Chains A and B, each alone.
Chain A
Amino acid sequence: MLIKSRVHVLPALCLVGLLFLSAFAAAPAEAQEIHAGGYPQQTGEALFKGLCQGCHMPNAQGAAGAGAYPALANNVRLVAAIYPITVVLNGQRAMPDFGDDLTDAQIANVLNYVRTHFGNHFKDIITPANIAAARRPKAPPTP
């Protein structure tokens, strides 16, 4: 359930791994560890280092090749909280959606971390309730 529809495109090897996702309890969160089958990290820093920096880079400066990952450092586009909330929940172009993989609290924590580090000094705090409110309503189950 954790990977949900994301598995559709993958060569089926990984699907087998799905069986195990629910079976194994999360280890205590810490930076730069790998945890089988999900994201147990809870603090903003642990989530940034365990997940976000894969693309946005350890210094949050982003990177550019044939395409680019935007810098999160000194990023004025983070000023309206709803923008990064929406991007993390739903994805945007090359950015995957993490709404199903992360809890409201995890998303709030990591956004608060990014919005107060790397040269960002936004004063308003994002709460889990803000995240919950921004989630798209779930489609009714197919009969």
Chain B
Amino acid sequence: MPDASIAPMNRRSLFKLIGMVAGSAVMYQAMAELGHAGESGYTGPVELKGDPKGATVLILGAGLAGMSAAYELRNAGYKVEVLEYNDRPGGRNWSLYGGDSYTELGGFTQQVQFAPGLYLNPGPWRIPYHHRAMLDYCKRLKVPLEPFTQVNYSAYLHSEKAFGGKPIRYREVQADFNGHVAELLAKATNQTGLDQAVTKEDREVLLEAMRIWGALDKNYEYKKGLVTSERRGYVSDPGGGLTSEPTLSEPLAMRELMQSQLWGFIAAGHIYEFQSALFQPVGGMGMIGKAFGKELGNLIQYNAKVTEISQDDQGVTVTYHDSKTGGAPKVAKAQWCICTIPASILSQINLTVGAPMKSAIDALYYDSAIKVGLQFKRRFWEQDESIYGGISFTDMPNALIGYPSTKFFDDGPGVLLGAYTFGPNSFQFAAMSPEERVRKAVEMGTKIHPQYPAEFQNGVAVAWHRVPWTLGCAGHWTEELRATHYDNLCAIDGRIMLAGEHASRLPAWQEGAVLSSLDAIKRLHQRVMSG
């Protein structure tokens, strides 16, 4: 290539680059499909018309699936009772605060030491703007929401293997990646490399598009200048008076940026579920579960460990005992049962359902995930680095650092999400003691924020495979499993129906849990009304 502005770029590396760019687009597409991106089917509060004449429903589990079902059925005139293993409502809708004690499987107990008002959401932590059922329930239950920042241009992208391990600002990676790609495409266009794909008229439009999209100069080059610093930021910002001259910044070299793979992190924010706006309840995600629990009051029986679920023509009988004290088995009966117990637990409970539903339950193990919350003496990410909310990503096993989207500019301590990871990294975190997980998260985070060791105060680590009431974070569906088992899992079996995120196509999302319940109770109501 005659143009020297893209230094050592031969034909082969150009093809390689284009392959990478195409690969990234293909990957984004795949992600969107895997996430089953699509609008929530929610169109407003469910209407269950007609008098169920005091029909009884036993609901197992006081998570969002169980409580939304209980709430709507009660309002429609059903007599409902909810059995819950924990001593609190919410299930995976859960926040840990200072003063809380959490004991995971194996007996490892953590006393949460966060300062007042600070928290970790071990499970869900954000609600996309199109999760309409969740937003509507927050509104109906008067749970105040505030913005959750997903993408923050000031946050970092980090790889231990790139740029000497130095974290790079998101805005720099994004601007430089777009700019370099735009320049390449502009060159290809000018060199008639795209003649077959683009008409002569379109070529001019494409060139102009590349210039604007990529912040190219009049020669269609991406290089240091005012126009690129306006995208990627300055070394020193424009100011006022006699000290106003900005210092422009130098773009990252294309080859190093491509090889760093940092651009891969950008795609996360493009995903439908992570696009602005997102929300979080003020004071922690667990506020939703608390509000539901308050609304349902004594309809929920806590500390109830279910050991058997049986049914016959007349109704459903559930055997349980006190999850804390044991004691004699008790029995609850109803005409119908909505069971939201995670499949990982349900597969271990005696259950009279047909083979199709039983096979579906048995086929679903739960994925591994861990979260680590770290409290620091001060909000150094805001004070030193101008990071207000959002997420830094890294290729270290902690995967990311999430900054609180609340209480900005507070002078007191703050809690970061110091690790949130799935897959093998997460299994390995789970195999550690909680203290070791916290120590590891601090160790890794120090490579991004050197302030960590001096500012760290305390932390809490939740490994979902050690959560006693889920044995994992969310049902593990594959395309094959869905094809074989999904319909059987969701179908009514005699007098029993299942609900929860595992009975949805929004896996691991609260919206999926709620929508699965609304779908179940509509079908149940139809059955009841038709006698």
Residues of A in contact with B (beta carbons under 8 Å apart): 2-3, 5-17, 19-20, 23-24, 32-39, 49-55, 57-58, 63-69, 91, 93-97, 101
Contacts and interface: CB of A to CB of B under 8 A. Distances in A.
Contacts of A53: 431
Chain B interface size band reads 35 or more
16 contacts: A3-B423, A14-B399, A16-B267, A20-B261, A23-B395, A32-B436, A37-B424, A63-B105, A63-B106, A66-B468, A67-B347, A67-B471, A68-B348, A93-B344, A93-B365, A95-B365
A20 B159 CA distance: 9
Contacts of B430: 54-55
A6 B34 contact: no
Contacts of B399: 13-14, 17
Interface centre among A17, A23, A32 (most CB of B within 10 A): A17
A9 B367 contact: yes
B323 A66 contact: yes
B276 to A, nearest CB: 16
Given A9-B475, A94-B471, A54 B427 contact: yes
A55 B472 CA distance: 10
Contact of A54 (B107, B423, B465, B479): B465
Contact of B396 (A7, A36, A55, A94): A36
Contacts of B369: 10
Contact of A57 (B106, B422, B425): B106
Contact of B105 (A12, A39, A65): A65
A101 B424 contact: yes
B420 interface: yes
Leading 7 A-B pairs by shortest Cβ distance? A65-B468, A54-B430, A63-B105, A67-B345, A54-B431, A19-B264, A9-B507
Interface of B: 27, 31, 34-35, 85, 105-107, 159-161, 261, 264-265, 267-268, 271, 273-274, 305-306, 323, 341-342, 344-345, 347-348, 362, 365-369, 393, 395-397, 399-400, 420-425, 427-432, 436, 440, 463, 465-472, 474-480, 507-509
Contacts of B478: 5-6, 8
Contact of B431 (A9, A10, A49): A49
B423 A14 contact: yes
B341 A2 contact: no
Contacts of A50: 428, 431
Contacts of B31: 12, 15
Given A57-B105, A67-B471, A94-B348, A12 B507 contact: no
